[in-house]
């Protein structure tokens, strides 16, 4: 199989991640909750995992890293546990994934908030002026929330500059690092980020179902779920201490240990090294797609401002049917449709087309995988071209 669906989840994973998952499952039981050796080992591995993620995100205090059941849960925590007042405002970008836009719409509905969407512009892809104007003219805004990189077109957003504006206007700033954690350098301090949500299973090459939220001590998040924290407290509500107040229930140590193993592997391999490999293949893919007359690529094509995620269509073809054909006939795995981000398709004009075909590369992608896709598309395009010609010839004859 030629696997080109790394934006959905990376595959394969480094061996150390599989091994860590197994080790965590066998050896780390009931972290922070038991008297056994395995429980103590689990607690130590939990602390070590927090340290690893703090290092990845350049967070000085590791206790501000909260483990969650994935990036979606981290975003829900950040957005739903935020201390909203009726009439408050929230800014999001026009490319957001459901994982961010849906909780925002939910709290906006339930808590009478206003939310503002910064429009997408093809080249930039976001105008800082639009952010500045909103922040200047809407004093009710309390939170600016944005993705770091688009899961549909791979565009990297100017998150450092947006963070600077948010800080300048005294707003909280939430970053969705689903498509960037492990793929691009992230620095919570340099970005002025108050909260960063990330998953393990994409560019950190970890397992699904685990993620994290960094919460700075400036954000007075309220409790989100009640339950046991292993603290032996007799009180009827969780103690308001981060990270415990958000890590209720038995800690999923196998997943946390494997997430940390993935993050360590990324840091040892080097984000720059990973990015160089991916960018070289991305350029090859974009050049190849450009040479195919039946293909339309969406979004800008400057590789230095993109993650290795490309959305395209074959003229006149349903993205879903091309996606299925690519797998059934050519063994190429990718994704076709809206990629849980219909707002992004609205922005790039592919909503009425049924979305796009998305190819997304990773560290384990090879030149051969990319060439397999280009050859297959060339072949499908040729067949289409000939059958179109045949149709028009027979029409002419009639
Ligand atoms: N945000 C973006 C931009 C994403 O691409 C995704 C995953 N497709 C998420 C959030 C949610 O991540 P998860 O499914 O791992 O919770």
Q: CATH number of the domain that 385 lies in?
A: 3.90.1150.10
CA of 110 to the centre of ligand 1 (A): 23
In a shared domain, residues 198 and 303: no
The pTM assigned to this predicted structure is 0.95
Could you tell me if the CB of 154 is within 6 A of ligand 1? no
d(CA 77, CA 167): 21
In a shared domain, residues 153 and 238: yes
In a shared domain, residues 260 and 336: no
Could you tell me if the CB of 65 is within 6 A of ligand 1? no
pLDDT digits (tens, 9 = 90+) for 185-239: 999 999 999 999 999 999 999 999 999 999 999 999 999 999 988 877 788 999 9
ipTM score assigned to the predicted complex: 0.99
CATH number at residue 71: 3.40.640.10
Q: Which two tokens stand for residue 393?
A: 């010839």
Buried b (16+ CB within 10 A) or exposed e, 13-39: bbebbeebbebbeeebbbbbbeeeeeb
In a shared domain, residues 247 and 286: no
- Nearest-CA residue for ligand 1 atom 8 is 8
Atom of ligand 1 nearest to the CA of 339: 8
Atom of ligand 1 nearest to the CA of 99: 10
Taking each helix axis from N to C terminus, what angle separates 15-27 and 37-57, rounded to the nearest 10 degrees? 140
In a shared domain, residues 167 and 234: yes
In a shared domain, residues 173 and 253: yes
Q: Which two tokens stand for residue 373?
A: 């896709």
In a shared domain, residues 56 and 201: yes
pLDDT digits (tens, 9 = 90+) for 334-357: 999 999 999 999 999 999 999 999
- The range of the structural domain enclosing residue 265 comes to 15-269
Could you tell me if the CB of 179 is within 6 A of ligand 1? yes
Buried b (16+ CB within 10 A) or exposed e, 336-352: bbbbbbbbbbbbbebee
pLDDT attached to residue 118: 96
Could you tell me if the CB of 151 is within 6 A of ligand 1? yes
In a shared domain, residues 261 and 275: no
Where residue 391 falls among pLDDT bands split at 50, 70, 90? very low
In a shared domain, residues 215 and 301: no
The answer to whether residues 76 and 65 touch, using CB atoms and an 8 Å cutoff, is: no
CA of 318 to the centre of ligand 1 (A): 24
In a shared domain, residues 259 and 369: no
In a shared domain, residues 275 and 254: no
Pocket test for ligand 1, best of 151, 206, 360 (most atoms within 8 A of CB): 151
Number of domains in the chain: 2
Last residue of a domain, one of 269, 291, 311: 269
Last residue of a domain, one of 269, 303, 320: 269
Q: How many CA atoms lie within 13 A of 24 on its CB side?
A: 26
pLDDT digits (tens, 9 = 90+) for 101-141: 999 999 999 999 999 999 998 767 678 999 999 999 999 99
Could you tell me if the CB of 199 is within 6 A of ligand 1? yes
Last residue of a domain, one of 224, 244, 269: 269
- Nearest-CA residue for ligand 1 atom 12 is 71
3-state secondary structure the chain: CEECECCCCCCCCCHHHHHHHHHHHHHCCCCCCCCCHHHHHHHHHHHHHHHHHHHHHCCCCHHHEEEECCHHHHHHHHHHCCCCCCCCEEEEECCCCHHHHHHHHHHHHHCCCEEEEECECCCCCECHHHHHHHHHHCCCEEEEEEECECCCCCEECCHHHHHHHHHHCCCEEEEECCCCECCECCCCCCCCCCEEEEECCCCCCCCCCCEEEEECCCCCCCCCCCCCCCCCCCCCCCCCCCCHHHCCCCCCHHHHHHHHHHHHHHHHHCHHHHHHHHHHHHHHHHHHHHCCCCEEECCCCCHHHECCEEEEEECCCCHHHHHHHHHHHHCEECEEECCCCHHHHHHHCCCCCCCEEEEECCCCCCHHHHHHHHHHHHHHHHHHHHHHHHHHHHHHHC
In a shared domain, residues 287 and 204: no
């Amino acid at each position: 199989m030629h696997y080109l669906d790394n934006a959905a989840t990376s595959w394969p994973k480094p061996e150390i991640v599989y091994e860590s998952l197994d080790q965590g499952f066998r050896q780390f039981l009931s972290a922070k909750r038991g008297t056994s050796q395995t429980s103590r080992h689990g607690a130590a591995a939990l602390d070590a995992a927090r340290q690893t993620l703090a290092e990845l995100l350049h967070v000085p205090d590791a206790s501000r890293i909260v483990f969650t059941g994935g990036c979606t849960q981290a975003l829900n925590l950040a957005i739903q546990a935020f201390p909203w007042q009726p009439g408050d405002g929230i800014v999001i970008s026009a490319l957001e994934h459901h994982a961010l836009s849906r909780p925002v719409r939910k709290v906006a509905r339930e808590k009478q908030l206003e939310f503002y969407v910064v429009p997408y512009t093809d080249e930039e892809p976001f105008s800082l002026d639009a952010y500045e104007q909103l922040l200047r003219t809407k004093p009710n805004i309390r939170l600016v929330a944005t993705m770091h990189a688009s899961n549909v077109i791979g565009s990297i957003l100017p998150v450092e500059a947006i963070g600077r504006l948010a800080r300048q206007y005294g707003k909280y700033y939430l970053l969705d690092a689903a498509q960037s954690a492990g793929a691009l350098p992230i620095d919570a301090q340099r970005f002025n980020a108050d909260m960063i949500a990330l998953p393990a299973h994409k560019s950190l090459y970890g397992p699904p179902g685990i993620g994290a939220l960094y919460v700075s001590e400036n954000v007075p998040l309220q409790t989100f779920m009640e339950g046991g924290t292993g603290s032996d407290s007799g009180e009827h509500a969780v103690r308001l201490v981060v990270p415990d107040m958000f890590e209720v229930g038995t800690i999923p140590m196998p997943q946390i240990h494997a997430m940390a193993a993935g993050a360590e592997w990324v840091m040892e391999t080097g984000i720059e090294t990973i990015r160089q490999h991916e960018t070289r293949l991305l350029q090859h893919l974009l050049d190849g797609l450009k040479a195919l007359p039946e293909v339309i690529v969406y979004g800008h094509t400057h590789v230095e401002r993109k993650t290795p995620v490309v959305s395209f269509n074959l003229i006149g073809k349903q993205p879903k049917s091309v996606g299925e054909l690519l797998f059934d006939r050519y063994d190429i795995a990718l994704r076709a449709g809206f990629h849980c981000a219909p707002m992004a398709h609205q922005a790039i004009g592919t909503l009425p087309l049924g979305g796009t075909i998305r190819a997304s590369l990773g560290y384990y992608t090879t030149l051969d995988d990319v060439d397999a896709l280009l050859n297959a598309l060339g072949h499908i395009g040729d067949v289409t071209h000939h059958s179109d010609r045949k149709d028009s010839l027979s029409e002419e004859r009639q």
